[in-house]
Chain A
Amino acid sequence: MRVSKLTKRMFPQYLLLPALLLYFVLFLIPNLASFYYAFTNWNAVGSVVKFIGFDNFREIFSSASGNGGVFRNTAVFAIYTTVLKIIIGLLLALLLNEGIRTKNILRAIFFMPITISVVLTGIMFSEIYSPDGILNGLLKLVGLSSWTHAWIAEPQIAIWSVATVEVWRASGFAMAIFLAALQMVPKEIYEATEIDGAGSFQKLFYVTLPYLYQAIVLNTLFGMISGLKVFDLIYVISNGGPVRSTEVLNVTVLNEFSKGAYGYSTAMGLILFLFVTLAYFGVNYVFKKFEVDVS
């Protein structure tokens, strides 16, 4: 695309430079350069770094490493949290957009969890989920004793329990993005449907949703990226256990890093990077296909 002189003058490239420079030097260079080490045997105990080709990757994907579950857990976590965050966030945004007197307080409360440190959230939920914790206590109270579980100690359900904490934590953020987008829906269009007597559901579907398209894309991308890269929440609550049933890629990356296996750890990181990139373009592709034009 050619740029007109006016555009050049109006939007000079130098406004872009400070951010680019800072980011390029302090973030991009060291972290991309590290990918070279994915192809080496770099280890804290060895003095020589040797190029070993794809050996690290072969080992990561070997059946003996038992990493299959790690990939599965990462995918489960990312998809489950993204879907639920969007559903809950959208629901909250639609309900809190207007008409409710206490909407400001309610918005504040629903957004609040993301402002609490993950470490604290983790400690909190470890206790809530424990066999004699609040959750089971509540279930027993309402007569659902058979539903009680050791929520983060049973390998089959642990990853879902941990992922639910992320939904608890970040649905409010999805809500905020949806709310911001809802402010863009022209009042007249909204009112027009009301006069027509369109039912709430139809109104939501035909009128509001197209305007929320950008916000849905944004939330899906944020959800997938942060979901695939999740680390601290799992580290605090379950540290990947029991028996690796909640171990996700970034937990393996850090565990190997702590052992000093820098080459192997970076290789794992590179795989994660490729996954997230893939997910990003996948999501973009899908949304492009269904793009709705609102303008």
Chain B
Amino acid sequence: MRNKKGLSILSTAIALTIFTGLLAGCGSNNNKGAAESSQSASTASASASPTESASPSATEIPKQDVTISLTAASGDTWIRPIDQEIIADFTKETGIKVDVQIAPADQYAGVLKAKLAAGEGADISLIWPEANAAQFLPDTNFLDLSNEPWVSTLTDAAKRNGTFNGKFIGWNPEGENAGWGIMYNKDIFSSLGLEVPKTFDDLVAVSEKIKASGVTPIYEPLKDSWHSGIWFALMGPIGEKNNAGLMDKLNQNTASYADVPEFETFLTQYKTLYDNGYFGKDAFSNTWDKGIPTMQSGKYAMFMVPSNMDVQSKAQYPEFDFAKFGEFPTPLADNRSLAVYDGTIIRVINKNSKHIDAAKQYLSYISRPDVLDKYYAASGLNPAFKALPAIQADLEKSLRANSDGTVNTTMETGIQFWDSTAVGNYVQELLAGKKTPKQVLEAIDNDRKKIFTAQAQ
């Protein structure tokens, strides 16, 4: 009896779903057809309007029935809740719908590359800025936005951030920030009478005292291997300082990592920190996500984080008191420079998009002063626009104060084909004794060589 009942429920469910599936299939096909035809009409009118009148006022633009797609990875620095709110406002005003598609972070780059290669990229995509955009072939895939009116309202850093190969391609919300440094617990430092370390030897001495007091000196999330990659990326400025023109040479493939002594020193010293037990015994289990809650417990004294961590994480960790923390540049290879970011992830328009005008309209909407006010009020970010006052949060002020004042671009954005995860994996092979510092550098060079050769053909 029960058997039969189960079966009939199942079969009814199956029949129903197939039926609705067919309906939905047909329905959406129809919708799509309708949307496409109405869209082509509206793009025609939209593209006609600028030629007719040079200054179309906002009220005159007819409402359009267009949907543009926007892809991003999952993660708090990609699409924020305020982005979604502003998208809703945008749709209300223009009729243009934005379909936000968020992909799993670890799949994102692969999917985007494959789709772009097949000519099926989304209308707007979020990608890494500056030289690191190279992996997505910006020249072939993304629209040159240099002549958009809002570009002139950006800060110089934001313009640099959105520029690839001389063309401005991407909008980004965030102004310059001082990049990553080592955040330290001021209470632990003062109770042990410690000073902010300026050299690697200082860092070792400080860590030794912290360790002796029963606190683990550094929270290092080795399970997220990209974090080890970031440590390395921070060595760009010191490398450049001692080897003039290094970054350019790396980007032209005329220099190799293995030839830079500072990088080898960095690797040896990073391993020393690990070998001396300053990362604690659970380092390989530690994850980035648990970093802030763990720092709160006071079991660790230092944690390498971006200098805008306090702004970024306020919403997520309302109980965490960032005022108790300061930050200093990673002093490996005796570095005291800052590896700055000109901005953050950029929004680019697909050259093959069928809705280029609507996509452009979205970017100019989110650059409008009233929209920006709303955006920054909610996000608390340092603005990327000249008209708005620059913000430096406390952590960043502390980091800048502890540096020697010199800055340069981080290798994460400044070097083509930089891949923090891949680099981090090699660095961790060093920690496990599977590679020597030299071999790590050679492995990175080898990966780059492959890409440059593939690109040359």
Contact = CB atoms under 8 A, between A and B. Distances in A.
Given A64-B446, A243-B429, A244-B429, A152 B434 contact: no
A155 interface: yes
Contacts of B281: 131, 150
A8 B455 CA distance: 57
A44 B285 contact: no
Interface in B95-124: 106-107, 109-110, 113-114, 116-117
The CB with the most chain B CB atoms within 10 A, among A153, A235, A254, is that of A153
B94 interface: no
B428 A243 contact: yes
Given A153-B223, A260-B113, A235 B428 contact: no
Given A41-B457, A257-B110, A260-B135, A244 B425 contact: yes
B223 A242 contact: yes
Contact of A150 (B137, B284, B450, B457): B284
B422 interface: yes
A64 B454 contact: no
Interface string A214-251: 00000000000000000000010011011110000000
A140 interface: no
A154 interface: yes
The CB with the most chain B CB atoms within 10 A, among A45, A153, A155, is that of A45
Interface in B232-289: 281-285
B97 to A, nearest CB: 29
A83 B55 CA distance: 74
A103 interface: no
Interface in A1-58: 41, 43-48, 50
Nearest to B450: A261
Nearest to A258: B110
Contacts of B282: 131, 150, 153
Contacts of A43: 450-451, 454-455
B371 interface: no
B223 A258 contact: no
Classify chain A's interface size: 20 to 34
A47 B284 CA distance: 39
B222 interface: yes
B457 A242 contact: no
A64 B443 contact: yes
A130 interface: yes
Contacts of B223: 153, 238, 241-242
Nearest to A240: B425
Contact of B454 (A46, A131, A244): A46
B404 to A, nearest CB: 34
A287 B457 CA distance: 50
Contact of B428 (A66, A131, A241, A261): A241
The binding surface of chain A is classed by DSSP as loop
B419 A243 contact: no
Contacts of B425: 241, 243-244
A261 B109 CA distance: 12
Contact of A153 (B134, B284, B419, B456): B284
A259 interface: yes
A241 B443 CA distance: 18
B429 A130 contact: no
A53 to B, nearest CB: 15
Nearest to B434: A243
B286 to A, nearest CB: 8
The binding surface of chain B is classed by DSSP as helix
A262 to B, nearest CB: 8
A153 B284 CA distance: 5
Nearest to B428: A243
A118 to B, nearest CB: 13
Interface string B123-160: 00000000000110100100000000000000000000
A43 B453 CA distance: 10
B172 interface: no
B117 A258 contact: no
A46 B419 CA distance: 18
A241 B435 CA distance: 15
A235 B107 CA distance: 11
Contact of A259 (B117, B140, B422, B431): B422
A288 B137 CA distance: 53
A41 B417 CA distance: 17
Contacts of A153: 222-223, 282-285
B18 interface: no
A47 B137 CA distance: 10
A243 B222 CA distance: 10
A66 B433 CA distance: 13
B457 to A, nearest CB: 5
Contacts of B134: 45
Given A46-B457, A241-B225, A242-B223, A154 B284 contact: yes
Contact of B222 (A242, A261, A264): A242
B125 to A, nearest CB: 14
A254 B108 CA distance: 12
Contacts of A44: 113-114, 116-117, 135, 137
Contacts of A152: 285
A45 B451 contact: yes
The CB with the most chain B CB atoms within 10 A, among A41, A154, A260, is that of A260
A55 to B, nearest CB: 10
A229 B88 CA distance: 43
B284 A241 contact: yes
Interface of B: 106-107, 109-110, 113-114, 116-117, 134-135, 137, 140, 222-223, 225, 281-285, 417, 419, 422, 425, 428-429, 431-432, 434-435, 442-443, 446-447, 450-451, 453-457
25 contacts: A43-B450, A44-B113, A45-B137, A45-B455, A46-B454, A46-B455, A46-B456, A46-B457, A50-B457, A66-B434, A153-B222, A241-B222, A241-B225, A241-B425, A242-B428, A243-B431, A244-B429, A257-B110, A257-B114, A258-B106, A259-B422, A260-B110, A260-B135, A260-B451, A261-B450
Given A241-B223, A243-B434, 15 more contacts: A44-B114, A45-B134, A45-B137, A47-B140, A47-B457, A64-B443, A66-B434, A131-B285, A153-B222, A239-B106, A244-B425, A257-B114, A259-B135, A259-B447, A260-B113
Interface of A: 41, 43-48, 50, 64, 66, 130-131, 150, 152-155, 235, 238-239, 241-244, 254, 257-261, 264
